[in-house]
Amino acid sequence: MASENESVFKKRSSQKTVNMEKGGPSKDHTSPGWQGGVSTKFLQNFKGDFDIKIHKMDKDEMVFDMIGIDPAVANAFRRILIAEVPTMAIERVFIWENSSIIQDEVLAHRLGLIPIKADPRRFQEMDDPDNENNLTEDNTLVFKLKVKCEKKTDEEMAAELASAGGKEVKKYKHESVYSGDLKWFPNGDQDKLFAGEDIVKPVVDDILIANLRPGQAINLEIMCFKGRGQDHAKFSPVATASYRQLPKVTIDEPVTGSKAEALLGKCPMNVFDIEDIEGVQTAKVARPRQCTMCRECTREKDWDQHVRLQREDDHFIFSIESVGMLPPQVLFTEAVQILKQKCEDVSKALGEDDKA
């Protein structure tokens, strides 16, 4: 994957803007390739202009620029990431014992929302989950939870006190039941396929499932299947996937002296700075990406004559925050493949219609 600000596609040759001065896109929008709101030269422009620049990427979040595309394409990626990239999630809960204060239905719902770290690309989708003969190591993961709140022995208390470093130690085991208490039971060759860093487990171990009092217990079995966010939100691989157009902030008339100081004070996002130009303190646009188009800088009378707010209409700042099942860069790659398959399906269908 490319490093920060490294281009992985051809650089764009031009850039279009949307005027935000009067509260929205200008009605006399005449960007090249657009006619009546329809991009008639989209394919030609796309091949020459499309570019991706990565600004931030870690195991949970990815922020990058998508340049040279229509809003419809950016929105297609967003919708696919939320609803169509498959993951593994808890679907069936078999409760053998539950003497906690939480009702069985609520307990099952809480379990279902725990994200499971398992690569969905290595599993098949279930055709008929109600048919037990269809449950195989290729489409099902099994977890078990068996806990009981009991008083710790004197030896256990002594050992924990010695390692606690003066911190308070609970007197009872499993007073709180967490996602880390779920135990994975491999089927078939799953223990060989998912070993080391690929081991199947909850994404995080500290999600609270229930609180127990002495004598209360929970004993249940869980099955995970492959699914998509359009079926249930628990299958969605992203906490959020969003985009916004790149702000373009321009100072049309020089803002100097006390006005420059006033402009700095107006902006809550610290977009502007002051530089010394031939001994004159002059405002400049330093961090346009941080602009949220709040218009505080142009709200007062005559300030719109100095500062102009626009957005680049083919430049999108895209943000992907993964829940943890897959890294964000893998999620985006999967979204690209899904969109590609959709295009191929439509092209094939249109070709069959032409033959008919």
**104-157 confidence digits (pLDDT tens):** 999 999 999 999 999 999 999 888 777 777 888 999 999 999 999 999 888 888
Rounded to the nearest integer, the mean pLDDT of the chain is 85
Residue 40 phi/psi, 5-degree rounding, is -75, -20
The SS3 assignment for 303 reads: helix
Q: Work out the average pLDDT over 202-229.
A: 95
H or E stretch including 17? strand 17-19
Residue 90 phi/psi, 5-degree rounding, is -70, 125
pLDDT in tens, 14-70: 445 555 444 444 444 444 444 444 455 667 767 777 889 999 999 999 999 999 888
Region of 304 (left: φ > 0; alpha: ψ -120 to 50; beta: rest) is alpha
Of 91, 86, 193, 178, the residue nearest 137 (C-alpha): 193
Confidence of residue 197 (pLDDT cuts 50, 70, 90): confident
Give pLDDT, residue 353: 66
Give the E-state strand segments of 121-186 in sequence order: 141-148, 150-151, 172-173, 176-178, 183-184
Give pLDDT, residue 55: 94
Give pLDDT, residue 18: 53
Alpha helices in the chain (DSSP H): 42-49, 71-83, 104-112, 154-164, 190-193, 257-266, 328-355
Query: Which domains, and CATH codes, for the chain?
Result: 53-85+237-247+317-356 (3.30.1360.10), 87-235 (2.170.120.12), 253-305 (3.30.70)
Look up residue 10 and give its two tokens: 């051809």
Report the C-alpha gap between 228 and 115 in whole angstroms: 13
pLDDT in tens, 163-178: 877 677 788 889 999 9
The answer to whether residue 196 scores a pLDDT higher than 80 is: yes
Confidence of residue 249 (pLDDT cuts 50, 70, 90): very high
Query: 57 or 10, which is more confident?
Result: 57
Q: Determine how many CB atoms are found less than 10 A away from the CB of residue 194.
A: 19
Residue 37 phi/psi, 5-degree rounding, is 85, 0
The answer to whether residue 1 scores a pLDDT higher than 80 is: no
The answer to whether residue 331 scores a pLDDT higher than 80 is: yes
325-340 in b/e form (b: 16+ CB < 10 A) is: bbbbbbbbebbeebbe
Note whether 338 and 80 are within 8 A (CB). yes
The answer to whether residue 86 scores a pLDDT higher than 50 is: yes
Of 58, 56, 59, the residue nearest 204 (C-alpha): 59
Note whether 320 and 294 are within 8 A (CB). no
Look up residue 28 and give its two tokens: 């006399």
Of 309, 282, 297, the residue nearest 26 (C-alpha): 309
Report the C-alpha gap between 347 and 343 in whole angstroms: 6
For residue 338, the number of C-alpha atoms closer than 13 Å in the C-beta half-sphere is 20
Of 225, 173, 182, the residue nearest 205 (C-alpha): 182
Amino acid present at 74: A
Q: What is the dihedral angle through the alpha carbons of 291, 292, 296, 298, rounded to the nearest 10 degrees?
A: 70
Q: Determine how many CB atoms are found less than 10 A away from the CB of residue 244.
A: 15
Amino acid present at 155: E
The answer to whether residue 11 scores a pLDDT higher than 60 is: no
Give pLDDT, residue 325: 93
Note whether 283 and 251 are within 8 A (CB). yes
- Report pTM: 0.80
Sign for the pseudo-dihedral over CA of 337, 341, 344, 346: negative
Of 186, 219, 227, 222, the residue nearest 92 (C-alpha): 222
